[in-house]
């Protein structure tokens, strides 16, 4: 294959990574921005989304699209409900203190991981893609499902953006984000907003996982790498900046796809992490964030 098509393939693979990463990082960014909670268990919500997707899909016999559709709806709902309960039972009682919540979410991480290992098992399990089609480009064939993932992720990000900027719920979230106490003084039920945001964030991670699970398999340790990547994305993009998060996800996803196709993946990751660290050192507010107040 010539250089051009090779680059195109790498770019497409990178776009798929970026699409999923953007969704997951969006959830992390919301939780981080509105609640100031560093949610270490975010990767486990992602993993839980994938594992539940496998379970729901295996319940339905017949056309794989039916099972996938059920998983797409039910899995994020269940994960959001679990996150809601975790917020109510644990995080709220800790008053959202940064250090205490880190330890609590590490605890949550252990619990979810162990439950997944016990009930799901250590092996990786596939989910059938809803449709099996190959688009034949002049140089190589490409899975249409992967392109659908990119489109679906773009739609979901747009929907989240509309929700945040055009609806009452979004207004409440933004008000809570910019000043918690003033929001409370104006009668905004901050507690409920927090629980809702935590559930929404987890739901977005689960959605990302359901989309990716026909491409990668569901595995109980699959949450670790995406967690680190989404932290990078959130920080590079700037806290609470939706536009920044999306642009950073594109940047990281694409460069990850392209660099690791041409160089040793380990070296690529090493250089990328160092680069990210240096960006942060010299521009701590992220590339798109405004300076901290």
Least distance between another protein and beta carbon 42 (Å): 14
Cα–Cα distance list, 11 to 15, 96, 247, 257, 266 (Å) = 6, 40, 15, 6, 19
Window 77-136: residues binding another protein (CB under 8 A): 90, 93-94, 97, 99-100, 102-104, 106-111, 113-115, 117-118
What whole-number distance in Å separates Cα of residue 249 and Cα of residue 21?
Answer: 6
Q: Is 259 in the site for another protein (CB under 8 A)?
A: no
**Please, which residue, 99 or 181, has the CB nearer to another protein?**
99
> For another protein, how many residues bind (rule: CB under 8 A)?
42
> Which residues, at least 6 apart from 216, have a Cβ–Cβ distance to it below 8 Å?
222
Q: Is 60 in the site for another protein (CB under 8 A)?
A: no
Least distance between another protein and beta carbon 248 (Å): 13
Least distance between another protein and beta carbon 227 (Å): 9
**Please, which residue, 145 or 194, has the CB nearer to another protein?**
194
Q: Is 276 in the site for another protein (CB under 8 A)?
A: yes
Q: Is 239 in the site for another protein (CB under 8 A)?
A: yes
**Please, which residue, 169 or 221, has the CB nearer to another protein?**
221
Least distance between another protein and beta carbon 94 (Å): 7
> Which residues, at least 6 apart from 272, have a Cβ–Cβ distance to it below 8 Å?
252, 255, 256, 259
Q: Strand pairing partners for 132?
A: none
Cβ atoms of residues 36 and 227 within 8 Å = no
Cα–Cα distance list, 13 to 6, 47, 108 (Å) = 11, 21, 32
The DSSP result for 199-244, as a single string, is HHHHHHHHHHHHHHTTTSPB-TTTTHHHHHHHHHHHHHH-TT-HHH
**Please, which residue, 63 or 283, has the CB nearer to another protein?**
283
Q: Is 51 in the site for another protein (CB under 8 A)?
A: no
Cβ atoms of residues 218 and 50 within 8 Å = yes
Cβ atoms of residues 275 and 20 within 8 Å = no
Residues that bind another protein (CB under 8 A): 32, 38, 40, 90, 93-94, 97, 99-100, 102-104, 106-111, 113-115, 117-118, 228, 231-232, 235, 239, 264, 266-267, 269-270, 273-274, 276-278, 280-282, 284
């Amino acid at each position: 294959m010539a250089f051009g098509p090779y680059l195109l393939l790498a770019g497409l693979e990178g776009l798929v990574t970026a699409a999923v990463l953007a969704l997951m990082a969006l959830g992390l960014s919301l939780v981080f921005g509105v609640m100031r909670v560093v949610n270490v268990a975010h990767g486990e919500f992602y993993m839980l989304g994938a594992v539940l997707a496998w379970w729901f899909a295996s319940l339905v016999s017949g056309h794989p699209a039916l099972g996938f559709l059920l998983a797409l709806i039910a899995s994020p709902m269940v994960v959001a409900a679990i996150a809601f309960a975790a917020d109510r039972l644990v995080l709220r009682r800790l008053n959202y203190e940064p250090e205490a919540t880190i330890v609590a979410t590490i605890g949550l991480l252990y619990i979810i991981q162990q439950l997944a290992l016990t009930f799901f098992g250590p092996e990786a399990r596939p989910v059938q893609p809803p449709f099996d089609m190959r688009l034949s480009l002049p140089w190589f064939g490409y899975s249409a499902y992967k392109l659908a993932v990119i489109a679906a992720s773009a739609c979901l990000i747009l929907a989240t953006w509309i929700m945040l900027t055009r609806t009452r719920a979004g207004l409440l979230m933004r008000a809570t984000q910019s000043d918690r106490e003033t929001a409370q003084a104006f009668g905004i039920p901050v507690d409920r907003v927090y629980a809702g945001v935590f559930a929404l964030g987890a739901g977005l991670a689960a959605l990302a996982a359901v989309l990716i699970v026909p491409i990668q398999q569901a595995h109980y340790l699959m949450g670790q790498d995406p967690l680190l990547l989404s932290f990078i994305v959130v920080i590079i993009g700037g806290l609470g900046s939706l536009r920044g998060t999306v642009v950073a996800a594109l940047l990281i996803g694409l460069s990850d796809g392209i660099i690791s196709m041409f160089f040793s993946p380990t070296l690529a990751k090493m250089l990328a992490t160092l680069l990210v660290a240096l960006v942060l050192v010299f521009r701590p507010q992220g590339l798109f964030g405004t300076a901290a107040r």
